[in-house]
Amino acid sequence: MARNTHFNESTEGLLNGSLSLQHEVTIEVASRLQAAAQVEVRERLPQYLPSDKEVVIELGEVSPEWEELQQAPPHTLVGGKRWRFALKPGESRKLSYGYSVRIDSKNELVGGNRRD
């Protein structure tokens, strides 16, 4: 399995500008087994406090479609998504999604603006 990320930061607006932090993630899964395999790939979108009005997270294109990750308490994962599929021997599959985080230009995300 290979997980590759691409990040781009741009500014929006002339006055009281904002930063748009675009993230693209590509995951390639390949089976080297001699039998079919059931695969589950989990990802999580960034989260923010609802009280923080200066943060907007927008989901971009997802391919193929994923589903919400449902977990029983106390192990619930907010923003969790997953793909589930079967791979035949020697088969590979490409998964991808993108999202953008928009914040005020005077701010920075904790840990840096890039999300890997």
pLDDT digits (tens, 9 = 90+) for 33-63: 999 999 999 999 998 888 888 889 999 999 9
The model's pTM is: 0.84
Whether residue 23 lies inside any domain: the answer is yes
Q: State the average pLDDT for the chain.
A: 89
Surface-to-core class of residue 21, CB atoms within 10 Å of its CB (0-12 exposed, 13-18 middle, 19+ buried): buried
Whether residue 112 lies inside any domain: the answer is no
**pLDDT score recorded for residue 49:** 84
Whether residue 116 lies inside any domain: the answer is no
Whether residue 19 lies inside any domain: the answer is yes
Higher pLDDT, 79 or 28: 28
Whether residue 100 lies inside any domain: the answer is yes
Whether residue 113 lies inside any domain: the answer is no
Whether residue 72 lies inside any domain: the answer is yes
The residue range of the domain holding 20 is 2-104
Percent of the chain whose pLDDT exceeds 70 = 90
How many domains does the structure of the chain reveal?
1
Average of per-residue pLDDT across 61-74: 92
Average of per-residue pLDDT across 59-68: 97
Whether residue 115 lies inside any domain: the answer is no
